[in-house]
């Protein structure tokens, strides 16, 4: 795979960002900070892929897709 996609979504009910990925099975993380979540993913994704028997080069290209929906008052 040339690039892995990670979906980042905001849950306003609990005020956290959460991450999932169809390309990286088992990747489910959450954080109150968007930046902290990105860093956690960059650290954990290679480990999860390795545990799943995945192969990748020394670098891991990740496409972060972000969605945040809010109500305006």
* Residues 46-64, mean pLDDT to the nearest whole number: 86
Residue 22, pLDDT above cutoff 60: yes
Q: For the whole model, what pTM was predicted?
A: 0.87
Instruction: Assign a CATH topology to domain 4-67.
Output: TTHA1013/TTHA0281-like (3.30.2390)
Residue 1, pLDDT above cutoff 60: no
Q: What is the mean pLDDT of the chain?
A: 92
Q: Where are the domains of the chain?
A: 4-67
Name which residue leads in pLDDT, 70 or 66: 66
What is the Cα–Cα distance from 33 to 18, expressed in whole angstroms?
Answer: 10
φ, ψ dihedrals at 70, nearest 5°: -135, 160
Residue 64's closest CA among 14, 9, 5, 15? 5
| Owner of token pair 């960002």 | 17
* Residues 52-65, mean pLDDT to the nearest whole number: 84
């Amino acid at each position: 795979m040339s690039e892995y996609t990670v979906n980042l979504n905001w849950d306003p009910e609990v005020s956290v960002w959460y991450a999932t990925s169809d390309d990286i099975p088992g990747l489910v993380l959450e954080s109150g900070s968007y930046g902290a979540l990105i860093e956690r993913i960059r650290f954990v994704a290679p480990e999860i892929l390795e545990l799943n028997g995945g192969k990748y080069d020394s670098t891991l290209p990740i496409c972060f897709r972000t969605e945040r929906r809010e109500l305006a008052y």
